[in-house]
Amino acid sequence: MPKQQVEFINRDRELEVIQSATQDWGTVQVLCIQGVGGIGKTRFLEEIGIRYIDTSVQGKPILMPETIDFDDYAMQTSGTLQRKLSQLLGEKTFASYLQRAGDWRKMEVAGVSPERLHEESRKVHKSFVDCFSQLAAKHRIILRFDSTDTLEESELWKFLLSLGVELTNMVLIIAGRNAKNLFEDIQLQGGVNVQLIELQPLEWEAQEQYLQQKQSLLHEKIDPALAEKLLYLSQGRPIWIDLAVEWKAQDIPFDWLVNSKIQDFKSLSAKQVEEFESHLVEHIIQIRTDMDKLILTMSHVYPLDEKLIGDILNVSTEKASELFEEAQMHAFIKNLPDQRISLHDEMRRMINDYVWPEIDQDGDRLQRDSRIAAKYFEKKVKEFEEKIEKLETKPEAVSDAFLDRDALIRMLDPAILQQVKYTLFWDIKKGLSLYKNLMQKARQISRIGLAEKMERTIQPFIPSLSPAQKYQVDIIRGRLLNDLGRPKEAEKLLNKLLEENRNIPECASDIYNALGMSEVHLGRLDLALQYQLKSLEIAEEQNMKRFIPVLLNVIGYIYRMRGEWAESIQCYRRAINEALRADATLDTIAGIQNNLGYVLSLDGKYDEAARYGEQAIKIWEKLKAEKKVGDEKVGMSETTLGAIYRYRGDYDLALKYHKQSLTRFEEPKDSEQLVRAYFHLGFTQWFKGDEEKNLDWYVLARESFEKSRELAEKYFHIKELPRILHETSHIYWGLDQRDKAREVNNKAYEIGKEVRDIHYAINSLVAKAEFDFDDGKYDDIPSYADILKKEYEDEGYHYPLFYGRMRRILAEVAFVKKEYETSLSYYAEGLTLIMQHGGYGRWLIDRELAMLEQKLLKLPPKTAHEWSTKFKEYWRKQEPQEKYGVMVSWCDQQIVEAKLRSES
């Protein structure tokens, strides 16, 4: 049943401005409605809705969705606001925008770089603007926004500023106490027709009319002398008249007003205004009725639905429903979408100012209500998460009402934020613990947008935190800034934290670890390694058993990024030992074993690598049987084991594990693992075809790589693309699709640099040189080599295989040009670097030496003898000598071969 309202009065001038703006077809008009609390801004927006519904301009319809009230917590992000508007304006018109918005959400979950997410969010916004423009070509659109008070300087504030510039054929009406600030900000940016409408207090005659109508609605009669005093006190604010009459109708005594003198109110001081406000809400202090309890509750916990009313007031479902309906009849209650209600912000302010300090001096009641609200939102979070999980695992079992995963996430996120907020109110320690856990989870699943919102949610509580608690919030923010792709900001914050906490070992270790990750993001691996080693040193001194294996795992990863396999292996080995010493969980150990097995295979220790890979699978199988992990964990290690066997040259066994791993993954839940599984399958098929000189395997490899790329692009696993594209380019080259090969490899190089995949950025650069050499195009090869040396080798990146291959290509170019001294020098250096790594597949040192042997056979025997002798002298000097023994032995054979040729 809708609430009865006083007839709209005394705003004719303001409505004329609205009328003029509305009728000006084709233009964009921004109207900022400014006014103090209780002056009637919300009522003004409602009246606009009543007057212009089902109307037209120049014979074309006006389209005006319901008012968006930012008092609704769920509306306080630009993405949610755009989705809500698209829903209200017509989802069919906004279908392309909704598709892009859904894709953006997939990108966020997939862990796409913040830079790419930002770029894609701009495209999503452009799609919204394009869809809006299509609709605006046929309709004059009026958008109304209320309660902008909490938005200033926020992301949503900036979004509102942009709307006037980007949208077309629209009237944008924005109401709030700070609407004047928005007006001034819009004026500053220029190019927008913006007007400020300042709602003034009702004039005396209008107040009398309003009071009379309010009494009639409530069948109440106020003594004229009392009414006159009330009108002086209300100062033309309708909300105060509403409150006074509604309280009088409920027999709430007005002795304080009856016993006062009229002359006391004709010139009000600030103190008298405060006294009036306090008198308007003082009866709530007595908490005589359930409605008093509800109003008090809504001043702190909002919005409310029937279920939350029942929980906090501890009343039956029937009583909660009755109160919910009764509350909506009051003028100071807002009706929000989705069957929720909220207190008028002016009423909320007065209760917080005058009631809570009187009835809850120790904060017990606020804590009690907060605890109940926190528990309520905890249940809502679980409910939404279960529906999302069900949707992902068994979509056929989900009812039609919950088919939209994105819609579920839009409901989940505000519930999480409310849970955090009220838990912090209830118990700061519990709230901080919840905040830390949820932030870690959000970061792990790449919900960085949610993490940002939680970070904003905790800000009002920071003054209440102890220095130790504030540190915990700051270190989380530092890690979040890294996730957001803002490592320089993170570095600045973390260095400040280090100055403040250098003498607290646990904090210092944590900060060095976070700083190390900042440097990884910045591509400064030397400094990243220094920070992580410092973090490890402190952790070992303090015997931080559980942290040590985690750090060693990270350090092993950095060494691997630098191409330093031996050091990486050493770290992973220690990580396993420390994990066992700390009694770490089996899943931690299996993850480290998986990493160790992979890097062992890169270093040519295939048998040992395979043993670690097999044991990791065994652990995952056990945990799977105990229902602690899913099948995807087994598949992940099977993919790794397949790669290990590929590097060993055991292609049939590798194919077995790759195909087996594919059966473990489900789309879309395991899309990232599927991307990797198809990639490694294609890699193995390629190597098998290379060994057997069989292009049929190349065709199969191309299909697997293309499937991997399709999934990576579909689910926006952008970080996987550099290696997929690079390796696919070799397949295209082998199939003589050379233009396609160059195009794909160039893209791999650009994306590799964008997502900081140093390994494949370098690999793709070397491939550019290889392709040019095969095509007999030698001019650009020195420039590729120069980039490789200056940007990577000289900067401390340790990739001897790639550096060796580039020098070998330079050697081949010099050989073709008969610059033999230069060629010999490059061959000596290049094959030394390749031997440092050991090579794999087509780049094994044995194959490199075989190709060099073919070059020697083209030289006169005497020259071949000289080359072989010089190679032998060079390689005998390398350390450790035993590693290069096979190369020295090869030189002896070539010297003998040259002698045979000279004497034949």
Distant-in-sequence, close-in-space partners of 269: CB < 8 Å, separation ≥ 6: none
**660 has a pLDDT exceeding 90:** yes
Q: Judge contact between 616 and 634, C-beta under 8 A.
A: no
Question: Which region among 327-341, 572-586, 830-844 has the lowest average model confidence (pLDDT)?
Answer: 830-844
**398 has a pLDDT exceeding 60:** no
Rounded mean pLDDT of 589-610? 93
Q: Look at residue 341 and give its three-state secondary structure.
A: strand
CA 3 to chain centroid, in Å, comes to 42
Label residues 96-125 b or e (16+ Cβ within 10 Å = b): ebbebbbbbbbbbbbbbbbebbeebbeebb
Rounded mean pLDDT of 403-430? 88
Tokens of residue 868, six digits: 């072989």
CA 499 to chain centroid, in Å, comes to 29
User: How much is the pLDDT for 827?
Assistant: 97
If you average pLDDT over each of 59-63, 440-444, 840-844, which comes out highest? Answer: 59-63
The predicted model scores a pTM of: 0.75
Reported confidence tier of residue 305, pLDDT bands at 50, 70, 90 = very high
User: How much is the pLDDT for 288?
Assistant: 86
Q: Judge contact between 543 and 815, C-beta under 8 A.
A: no
Q: Judge contact between 691 and 847, C-beta under 8 A.
A: no
Tokens of residue 460, six digits: 């009002």
Rounded mean pLDDT of 789-818? 91
**Per-residue pLDDT tens over the stretch 573-591:** 999 999 999 999 999 999 9
Q: Report the percentage of the chain scoring pLDDT > 90.
A: 61
Rounded mean pLDDT of 566-578? 95
User: How much is the pLDDT for 401?
Assistant: 43
Q: Judge contact between 454 and 417, C-beta under 8 A.
A: yes
Question: Which region among 13-27, 724-738, 790-804 has the lowest average model confidence (pLDDT)?
Answer: 790-804
Rounded mean pLDDT of 804-824? 96
In this structure, which long-range contacts are made by residues 506-511, counting pairs with CB atoms below 8 Å and at least 24 apart in sequence? 506/542, 506/544, 507/471, 507/475, 508/535, 508/538, 509/535, 509/536, 509/538, 509/539, 509/542, 509/544, 509/547, 510/475, 510/535, 511/475, 511/478
Token match 């049943």: residue? 1
**Per-residue pLDDT tens over the stretch 166-207:** 899 999 999 998 899 989 988 888 878 999 999 999 999 999
Reported confidence tier of residue 113, pLDDT bands at 50, 70, 90 = low
Q: Judge contact between 731 and 698, C-beta under 8 A.
A: yes
**395 has a pLDDT exceeding 70:** no
User: How much is the pLDDT for 577?
Assistant: 95
**What DSSP string runs through 541-594?**
HTT-TTHHHHHHHHHHHHHHHTT-HHHHHHHHHHHHHHHHHTT--HHHHHHHHH
Q: Judge contact between 483 and 448, C-beta under 8 A.
A: yes
**667 has a pLDDT exceeding 70:** yes
Q: Report the percentage of the chain scoring pLDDT > 70.
A: 96
Q: Judge contact between 455 and 475, C-beta under 8 A.
A: no
d(CA 666, CA 671): 7
**649 has a pLDDT exceeding 80:** yes
User: How much is the pLDDT for 402?
Assistant: 42
Indicate the angle between helix axes 155-166 and 179-189, nearest 10 degrees.
50
Q: Look at residue 761 and give its three-state secondary structure.
A: helix
- Amino acid letter, 715: Y
User: How much is the pLDDT for 173?
Assistant: 95
Rounded mean pLDDT of 203-213? 91
**Per-residue pLDDT tens over the stretch 122-143:** 899 999 999 999 999 999 999 9
User: How much is the pLDDT for 217?
Assistant: 87
Q: Judge contact between 578 and 549, C-beta under 8 A.
A: yes
User: How much is the pLDDT for 38?
Assistant: 87
**Per-residue pLDDT tens over the stretch 84-106:** 899 899 888 999 998 888 888 77
Label the pairing between strands 340-343 and 333-336.
Answer: antiparallel
Q: Which residue has the higher pLDDT, 153 or 685?
A: 685
User: How much is the pLDDT for 523?
Assistant: 65
Q: Look at residue 110 and give its three-state secondary structure.
A: helix
Reported confidence tier of residue 3, pLDDT bands at 50, 70, 90 = low
User: How much is the pLDDT for 703?
Assistant: 97
**Per-residue pLDDT tens over the stretch 668-714:** 778 889 999 999 999 999 999 988 999 999 999 999 999 999 998 88
Distant-in-sequence, close-in-space partners of 19: CB < 8 Å, separation ≥ 6: none
Question: Which region among 7-11, 279-283, 795-799, 819-823 has the lowest average model confidence (pLDDT)?
Answer: 795-799
